[in-house]
Amino acid sequence: MSEVAAGVHFVEGPASNWVVLIGVDDVALIDSGYPKDLPLVVESIQRAGGRVDDLTTIAVTHGHSDHIGSAAALVDRTGARVLGSTDELPNIRRTELHQIGVGDILPVLWKPLIARWTVHAVRAGGLGDVGVASAAGLPASEAGPDALRLAGHRVLPVLVPGHTPGHTAYLLPDARALVTGDAVISGHPTTRELGPQLLAPMWHSDPALAERSLAALAELSADTVLPGHGPLLRITPPVLVESALRRDGD
Ligand SMILES: [Zn+2]
């Protein structure tokens, strides 16, 4: 776990990452790991200096089970609100499902890293029902960073569709940090590659849209990138996007 700026803590979980935001008297999360990551999420809030019972908001990048997995249990415990983009709400509520399934994995299950990831995903509760029926919509990007405060931190949601229909990145302008979710990552259990990269096409709802959407990130001003998978990057968004697309074209 690393404190990126005052009250902004980046946590590398066993297979996916989340961010803990600490305020004066409340706590917020961006993403929440797999269902079985719940004890780790709770511990990370405490290590960051917060109290789980002060959790007021869980903003999610997208509705995949390795990002919203602990949200329902945390909502039950704390009454926190769960926020996602309007376009992602059906996936978060599980009235629709935009996630890779067993049928997509079978053809590549012979690959050792994929097999290992699949075992972890199943054990971590990845096949369980992780929907959050109460999830509500975020303010649109046009509303600016003053429209949303999470535990006192200004947050700008930036729509980056393609990985899922309403995938959202979050800019923390005061921390000069960008939470990218799965729009751009820096590593993943299914590959040995490290550094700015896109997930392989099989993981995206719409791979071509996932690439086009990155233009929205390239305009943002930040020095630190907090991806949904892989380590923190000290890099600006324009360089991040250029590097990820260049690697994707190799
Ligand atoms: Zn994902």
Q: What is the pLDDT of residues 114-149, one digit of tens each?
A: 888 888 888 888 778 899 999 999 998 888 899 999
Centroid of ligand 1 to alpha carbon of 191 (angstroms): 15
Give 30 or 112, the one with higher predicted confidence.
30
> pLDDT band for position 96 (50/70/90)?
confident
Handedness of CA 52, 58, 61, 62 (dihedral sign): positive
Please tell me the predicted confidence (pLDDT) of residue 249.
64
Report how far ligand 1's centroid is from the alpha carbon of 60 (Å). Answer: 11
Distances (CA, A) of 157 to 8, 12, 169, 234: 16, 21, 6, 20
Helix/strand/coil for 152: coil
For CA atoms 138, 127, 193, 20, the dihedral sign is positive
Q: Which amino acid is at 198?
A: L
Q: Where are the domains of the chain?
A: 2-249
Question: How far is C-alpha 31 from the chain's CA centre?
Answer: 5
Reported confidence tier of residue 98, pLDDT bands at 50, 70, 90: confident
Instruction: HSE, CB side, 13 Å, CA atoms: give it for residue 141.
Output: 15
Rounded CA-CA distance 168/59 in Å is 10
**Percent of the chain residues topping a pLDDT of 70:** 99
Q: Please give the pLDDT value at position 248.
A: 73
Q: Is 82 helix (H, G, I), strand (E, B) or coil?
A: strand
What element of type H or E holds 121?
helix 112-123
Which superfamily, per CATH, for 2-249?
Answer: Ribonuclease Z/Hydroxyacylglutathione hydrolase-like (3.60.15.10)
Rounded to the nearest whole angstrom, what is the distance from the C-alpha of residue 64 to the centroid of ligand 1?
5
Could you give phi then psi for residue 197, rounded to 5 degrees?
A: -160, 160
Rounded to the nearest whole angstrom, what is the distance from the C-alpha of residue 183 to the centroid of ligand 1? Answer: 8
Mean pLDDT of all residues belonging to the chain: 94
Structure tokens at 112: 């050792």
Give the tens place of pLDDT for each residue, 23-77. Answer: 999 999 999 999 999 999 999 999 999 999 999 999 999 999 999 999 999 999 9
* C-alpha of residue 8 to centroid of ligand 1, in Å: 22
Does residue 207 register a pLDDT over 70?
A: yes
Q: Among residues 16, 7, 45, which one has the least CA distance to residue 153?
A: 7
| Predicted pLDDT of residue 119 | 80
At 152, the pLDDT band (50, 70, 90 cuts) reads very high
Q: How many angstroms separate the CA atoms of 217 and 220, rounded?
A: 6
